[in-house]
A and B are shown apart, each in its own frame.
Chain A
């Protein structure tokens, strides 16, 4: 890093000294983000979100950000940066808006992305609202994405300078109002994770060597299936192939994701000996349908609950789409019809799971996002 002391090029009114509330998870990214915001001259206050009613004492492995240890790490970082630090209890909101939604989505046979949901409902809603009410101008996080003010004065969300670390996908749910109060000091960083760690080290932040967090923060042991089984119970059902023949059993259709290959434990091999994938999940009759890879090819999708970063697109337009975190971009034509987003792929794509978000890009700019509801298959799965 050569220019970490430069004025923040992103976010609201960069030349003004802002009152910034830095969300600090206890990890290295959010700590460095808070430090950079403070160094840029903003008046920064750190806050750790307590998102679990019964936090565990210590981190187990690399998961989560909600243990007491993470809270202490965040406080320690805030003390070193020299900013006030508080813990805000948003456990109730998190449970209602993220955890229960997560369970309900799986129960309906979809595959939700709780990080998007958390950004939309917690970090840039519950937290931001409280911050604004208390007189703060912006919420700062350690996400890798950039906010730029467009030619027309509107705020735009763009991919991070370093595409490999870009996290604009999980921020695709933010509208312009939310973006107007978002600060992402790491967004313009062309630095490897090692360099961010080195910067943390240089700043005396003890979290410099802390392992990255992965997976879902509220499932401490990483066992999503076990978590779902605890919440939804188990119900034995059939696994069918695309002809409708029973090829195995499962203990709950909700436990599967479209495109999943591993863990199917099918008794009979496919006649052609090729691997089989989950094609469909039907919670109504508790069945899971499997089939060959080519049956996963999707030519179009519809998505609901669209959220736009700026003006919604007027007619059909050419964009690129990202269909999951860290997924590749693919060219599409998209249009808004009856409040629903309709997306047609230039070439068939695989592994499109209802419940995930489709985020539309125009170049590096995030146009908007919506939750995938239905898909159109190149090959009919059944019947």
Chain B
């Protein structure tokens, strides 16, 4: 088995498993006042401090959520509602067209149900938003913008965005910028405080932590309208009893991710480079998606378009060889849709149907790359003979 889909989910770190297991036997609601509650609260707050330190944020800026999707929804919808409530002119949303569906669909929902006017920021051929493009969009009328949202690193093609520069431009205009950093954490330096972002989403299971936990890092001057009302936990922004074991294990993973990102980039980046080389050798006309400059993309990401192939067919053929990867794009009822990310970069729609994303992680080995190197050529030849249906 060659697992080349770490961007979908990556194995939990042994340290995180140990922490999770240890905490599962401990009773206590972090909102309770008695000793058990105090003990749970201490675990939560220490975890919050660890996550904050790992992300360059203050502890009070960490809002634990059920994961990246909730964090993105809270940022996009919550900030839109709050900013519009403060000034009804603010109905414009600036978003990159390569956002993850957790942001993209939240933005579409605001347009369909809340009268948001969505403006898609232009991206270049590698899917990057240039700070000038954001500056121009803001300058048209900085007073009617509710928020801007640009992901830190793209989950499909791996492109890194110039987040600090974008955040500076947004801050100049007094507009909050949200960044989905779910893929970035652990692969590149992610320092919330240094960037001046208003909000940032991270997820546990993408970085060696458990499923079902994530956080919205939320600047202290931001008060989004909650999605979940209830007990008033998490700054009154996200109600619900905290999952203490998940929070604690997430802290372990986040700390690990932040401490080791340079090492990860070096080691996994070298494997990724070998993978890219192997695929190109086997399939000379494969088109690398995203930034060809390794400095401009996630070190664990490789994305290819295989002309004349259906991504689905490739997936089936590689799966049959024990190679697990993804087309990178979302499914509707199990049917792969042409990727909005690839289309946004101006790629030929026909080419966009034959894409595969290979994503490496902390358990990847040279044997994984070798298995792909052996299988990809024959798989592409076969998929080509099946053609585009």
Contact = CB atoms under 8 A, between A and B. Distances in A.
A86 B312 contact: yes
Main secondary structure of the interface of B (DSSP, over half): helix
A270 B326 CA distance: 67
Nearest to B378: A135
A149 to B, nearest CB: 28
A86 B386 contact: no
B389 A93 contact: yes
A93 B319 CA distance: 26
Given A86-B316, A126-B389, A135 B382 contact: yes
Interface in B278-320: 312-313, 315-317, 319-320
Nearest to B386: A133
Contact of B382 (A68, A71, A84, A134): A134
Nearest to B313: A134
B349 interface: no
Interface string B361-389: 00000000000000000000011011101
Interface in A78-130: 84, 86-90, 93, 126, 130
A126 B313 CA distance: 14
Contacts of A45: 316, 320
B317 to A, nearest CB: 6
Q: Which of B317, B333, B383, B387 has the most CB of A within 10 A?
A: B333
A323 B317 CA distance: 42
B335 interface: yes
Interface size classification for chain A? 10 to 19
A87 B335 contact: yes
A48 interface: yes
A32 interface: no
Q: Which of A48, A50, A68, A86 has the most CB of B within 10 A?
A: A86
Nearest to B314: A134
Interface string B313-353: 10111011000000000010111000000000000000000
B333 A87 contact: yes
A181 interface: no
Contact of B334 (A48, A130, A133, A134): A48
A251 B387 CA distance: 45
A75 interface: yes
A133 B317 CA distance: 11
Contacts, number: 45
A368 to B, nearest CB: 28
Interface string A59-71: 0000000001001
B352 to A, nearest CB: 15
B386 A55 contact: no
Contacts of A68: 333
Given A86-B312, A90-B389, A134 B317 contact: yes
Interface residues of B, number: 17
Contacts of A87: 331, 333-335
Nearest to B385: A133
Contacts of B315: 86
B335 A89 contact: yes
B317 A50 contact: no
Contacts of B383: 134
Contacts of B333: 50, 55, 68, 71, 87
A23 to B, nearest CB: 14
A130 B386 contact: yes
A47 to B, nearest CB: 9
Contacts of A90: 389
A49 to B, nearest CB: 10
B382 A75 contact: no
B349 to A, nearest CB: 15
Contacts of B317: 134-135
B312 A133 contact: no
A50 B316 contact: no
Given A50-B333, A126-B389, A134-B317, A88 B382 contact: no
Nearest to B384: A133
A92 to B, nearest CB: 8
Q: Which of A71, A84, A88 has the most CB of B within 10 A?
A: A88
A22 B321 CA distance: 19
Contact of A84 (B313, B319, B331, B335): B319
Contacts of A71: 333-334
A164 to B, nearest CB: 34
Nearest to A74: B334
Contacts of B316: 45, 84, 86, 134
A84 B316 CA distance: 8
Contacts of B385: 133
A332 to B, nearest CB: 39
Given A84-B316, A86-B312, A88-B312, A134 B335 contact: no
A87 B334 CA distance: 5
A87 B333 CA distance: 8
A153 to B, nearest CB: 28
Nearest to A90: B389
Contacts of A55: 333
Interface string B3-17: 000000000000000
23 contacts: A45-B316, A50-B334, A68-B333, A84-B320, A86-B312, A86-B316, A87-B333, A87-B334, A87-B335, A88-B312, A88-B335, A88-B389, A89-B335, A130-B386, A130-B389, A133-B385, A133-B386, A134-B313, A134-B317, A134-B382, A134-B383, A134-B386, A135-B317
Interface of B: 312-313, 315-317, 319-320, 331, 333-335, 382-383, 385-387, 389
Closest 8 CB pairs of A and B: A87-B334, A133-B386, A89-B335, A133-B385, A68-B333, A134-B386, A87-B335, A130-B386
Given A48-B334, A88-B312, A130-B313, 5 more contacts: A75-B334, A84-B320, A86-B315, A86-B316, A88-B389
